[in-house]
């Protein structure tokens, strides 16, 4: 695809070569995110960070990514404060707001809203999540994390062995990740969930059509024995029909250090899209994994900044100029 001036609305836009281009640019952003250098390549540019649905971390991640390239950020949070609630069309909103910035990141609770907004926009729009539909930068940062975590081990996305655990029915992130994985070859997936929360059939079919090997399971411990990545997602109680049904699964999809030690290969990487529910009743990742060096969940969040910097740089066509506007960092950085 041609990145310059394009909207980034869906992972369906990406071919394998496009993903590799994003990841290659993301790699070059690391010195800036780690504060080894500062770049001012986008000094004077403005990001319109339009969050019509609240999401602190995604919003701040996009904003910081733009600041790290030297640009300014104007933003909004929430819905009620917006003219949209007075009957304004997304076309009008986009037409107006796109006069205020060089690029827009938009999040909105309705599926399809960001694409509709993009039609009215005069500047590139990046989808920051449109309801149940897409959150393409999350999918890209997940895949980028897989690639980066495995790189030191001589393994890659091709030939990946991955277990996806939790609510695979409603989890937007695992759906998107599966779609991206269809662009790669020879992947083994184990899909671990209560039967009520199984991965949609259409996605399983797409994975098979891509030549991947898909296994369905309800058993956490047997599923994580031979994988490179254990990708856990949140199971929300309200997804079950009754509390009794929810209780029946309680704890059965929770990964902790003793299960990890007993069942996983030594370097299995643990991922999660965050936020993680740290309360004891949750079906997610135990806090006792925090000292496990293979817990990659916070590196995922860090990688989100790199991927978003890369997308901004590509869409605004400055990827090749970032280093030319670099300076030394003169303040204390712990990293």
Which residues 108-137 are close enough to bind a second copy by CB under 8 A?
122-124
58 is catalytic: yes
> What's the CA gap between 223 and 261, in Å, rounded?
14
> What's the CA gap between 194 and 247, in Å, rounded?
12
107 is catalytic: yes
Q: Find the shortest distance in angstroms from Cβ 290 to a second copy.
A: 7
Which residues touch 273 (CB under 8 Å, ≥6 apart)?
138, 142, 171, 173, 233, 234, 300
- Residue whose tokens read 């290659």: 24
Footprint (CB under 8 A) of a second copy, residues 18-37: 33, 35
> What's the CA gap between 255 and 270, in Å, rounded?
9
Looking at 1, 36, 43, 156, which residue binds a second copy (CB under 8 A)?
43
86 is catalytic: yes
135 is catalytic: yes
Q: Choosing from 7, 59, 108, 135, which is the catalytic residue?
A: 135
Nearest to 191 by CA among 227, 217, 224: 217
Burial bucket for residue 240 (CB in 10 Å: 0-12, 13-18, 19+): middle
Footprint (CB under 8 A) of a second copy, residues 56-75: 56-57, 59-61, 63-64, 67-68, 70, 72-74
Footprint (CB under 8 A) of a second copy, residues 266-295: 274-279, 282, 287, 290
Query: Candidates 15-23, 99-107, 131-139, 204-212 — which segment interacts with a second copy by CB under 8 A?
Result: 99-107
Nearest to 90 by CA among 98, 101, 78: 98
Q: Choosing from 7, 107, 147, 175, which is the catalytic residue?
A: 107
Cβ distance to a second copy smaller for residue 114 or 181: 114
91 binding a second copy? (CB under 8 A)? yes
Distances (CA, A) of 70 to 104, 298, 318, 327: 16, 24, 12, 11
Cβ distance to a second copy smaller for residue 28 or 67: 67
Question: Catalytic residue numbers?
Answer: 57-58, 86, 107, 135
């Amino acid at each position: 695809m041609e990145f310059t001036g394009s909207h980034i609305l869906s992972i369906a836009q990406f071919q394998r070569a496009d993903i590799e281009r994003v990841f290659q640019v993301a790699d070059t952003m690391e010195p800036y995110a780690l504060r080894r250098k500062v770049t001012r390549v986008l000094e004077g540019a403005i990001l319109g960070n339009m969050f019509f649905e609240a999401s602190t971390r995604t919003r701040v991640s996009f904003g910081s990514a733009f600041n790290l390239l030297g640009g300014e950020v104007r933003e909004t949070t929430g819905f009620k404060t917006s003219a949209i609630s007075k009957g304004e069309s997304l076309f009008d909103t986009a037409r107006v707001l796109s006069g205020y910035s060089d690029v827009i990141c938009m999040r909105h609770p309705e599926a399809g809203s960001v694409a509709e907004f993009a039609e009215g926009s005069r500047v590139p729009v990046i989808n920051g999540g449109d309801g149940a539909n897409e959150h393409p930068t999350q999918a890209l940062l997940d895949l980028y994390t897989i690639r980066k975590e495995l790189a030191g081990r001589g393994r890659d996305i091709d030939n990946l062995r991955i277990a996806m655990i939790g609510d695979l029915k409603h989890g937007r992130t695992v759906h998107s990740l599966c779609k991206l994985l269809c662009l790669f070859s020879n992947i083994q997936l184990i899909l671990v969930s209560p039967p009520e929360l199984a991965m949609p059939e259409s996605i399983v079919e797409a994975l098979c059509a891509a030549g991947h090997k898909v296994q369905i399971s309800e058993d956490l411990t047997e599923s994580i024995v031979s994988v490179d990545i254990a990708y856990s997602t949140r199971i929300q109680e309200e997804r079950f029909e009754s509390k009794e049904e929810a209780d029946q699964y309680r704890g059965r999809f929770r990964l902790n250090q003793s299960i990890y030690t007993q069942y996983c290969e030594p370097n299995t990487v643990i991922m999660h899209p965050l936020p993680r529910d740290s309360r004891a009743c949750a079906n997610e990742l135990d806090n006792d994994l925090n000292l496990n060096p293979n817990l990659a969940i916070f590196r995922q969040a860090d990688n989100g900044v790199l991927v978003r910097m890369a997308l901004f740089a590509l869409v605004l066509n400055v990827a090749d100029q970032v280093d030319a506007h670099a300076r030394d960092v003169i303040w204390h950085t712990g990293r």
